[in-house]
Structure 1
Amino acid sequence: MALDDKLAGMKDQTTGKVKEVSGKVTGDTKTEAEGKAEGFMGKVKEVVGDVKDAASDMDDKLKEKIKK
Structure 2
Amino acid sequence: NVFLGEIFSAIVALHNQSDQILRDVILKTDIQTASQRITLNSGDQNDLNKIELAPDQSISRVLQHEVKELGNHS
Structure 1 and Structure 2 fold alike (TM over 0.5): no
Whose relative contact order is higher, 1 or 2, with alpha carbons under 8 Å and at least 6 apart? 2
TM-score (normalised: structure 2): 0.24
Larger radius of gyration: 1
**Structure with the largest fraction of helix:** 1
TM-score (normalised: structure 1): 0.25
